Amino acid sequence: MQIVVGQESHNASQSKAAQILYQLKNPTAEYIVAISHRGDWRYAPENSLMAIQRCIDLGIDVIELDFRLTKDGYLVAMHDTTVDRTTNGSGKVSELTLAEIKQFRLKNAAGVRHSNQQVPTLEEVMNLVKGKVMVNLDKTESKWVRESYEVLKKTGTVDHAIFKGNDDIKVMRQKYGSLMDSIIYMPKLWYKNPKVKELYQGFEKDINPFYYETIFDTEEAEPLLIAKSQMKTNGDGFLAIALWDELCAGRTDEMALLEGPDKAWGWLVEQGANAIMTDRPAELIQYLENKGLRTMKTVN
């Protein structure tokens, strides 16, 4: 089977990732992009290859993962500055070599130390997801964009990865120059940023991103107002983060489970969210399918 996107032809093993990217670039209210936080970490250790594979099997579109640089220059999937919480080892990632980190074993969500799984590298992750899903790269925005980009080029997955960050476009241009034109970049619109409107307008004038990660602690917070007005008018995708209260005005995964998904995920969709990040990927997928909110645009 062949699916053609523009002038590029993709075989069947690549088609899902191509469809997801097309959907992200052309956001609609009929297909809500499902993003899983650190993989399905209730099923397998967070940021592990098994947690990633679980998301692929569930039909998740994008997997948010965290990466940090080892002492010898490898990017590994790790949220914290140390390996202490998530492995049976100890120490700062920046002070350990890849070989040392590979000796450790990941813990599960309950802290059980007896997993047989290792901490994966960015290269291993991208080889696993290639053609299947996209990856939302966290913890790389301020320091390791170039290092990440080199891995993406090596694995042929530059179009599979979404970089993101808090800095305005002037700062990002100073740091990375023309590299900003070669990556998929999603700025973060934080309610704590007193110049969030200016940040949004600056990015629109320069690289014109097709998606924004939007964080709002109340229903009157400026990022949400921007999402409902300017972003909607400009055709930009609006990613809502349903992880904890201050990220989404309380419309969390927990609310979805305790009070019903319409009050949480449904409310976010009503505000115009085109994508939702969740810690409950299976439940979110089921809800969106039941609501008819997974009708993907045809890739031409």
In tens, the pLDDT along 87-113 reads: 999 999 999 999 999 999 999 888 777
CB–CB of 294/40 below 8 Å?
Answer: no
Structure tokens at 21: 């990217």
Structure tokens at 230: 């300017």
- Can you say how many angstroms the Cα of residue 268 is from the centroid of all Cα atoms in its chain? 17
Distance (Å, whole) CA 17 – CA 24:
11
3-state secondary structure of 91: coil
According to the model, what pLDDT value does residue 4 have? Answer: 33
Within a domain: 298: no
Distance (Å, whole) CA 69 – CA 233:
39
- For the entire predicted model, the pTM comes to 0.93
| DSSP notation for 7-45 | TEEE-HHHHHHHHHHHHHHS--SSBPEEEEETTTTTTS-
Beta-sheet strands, E only, within the chain: 3-5, 8-10, 33-37, 62-69, 75-77, 134-138, 161-165, 184-190, 211-215, 237-241, 275-278
Q: The domain containing residue 198 runs over which residues? A: 3-290
3-state secondary structure of 161: strand
Within a domain: 300: no
Q: What is the mean pLDDT of residues 75-94?
A: 96
Q: How far apart are the first and last CA of the chain?
A: 14
49 pLDDT higher than 70: yes
CATH number for 180? 3.20.20.190
Within a domain: 23: yes
Q: Which residue has the tokens 């890849």?
A: 98
According to the model, what pLDDT value does residue 221 have? Answer: 98
Confidence of residue 205 (pLDDT cuts 50, 70, 90): very high
Average pLDDT of the chain to the nearest whole number: 92
The domain tally of the chain equals 1
% of residues, the chain, pLDDT over 70: 93
Within a domain: 297: no
- Single-letter amino acid code for the residue at 184: I
Confidence of residue 57 (pLDDT cuts 50, 70, 90): very high
Distance (Å, whole) CA 150 – CA 122:
11
Structure tokens at 110: 């309950």
3-state secondary structure of 101: helix
According to the model, what pLDDT value does residue 139 have? Answer: 79
Burial label for 230, CB within 10 Å (0-12, 13-18, 19+), is middle
Within a domain: 195: yes
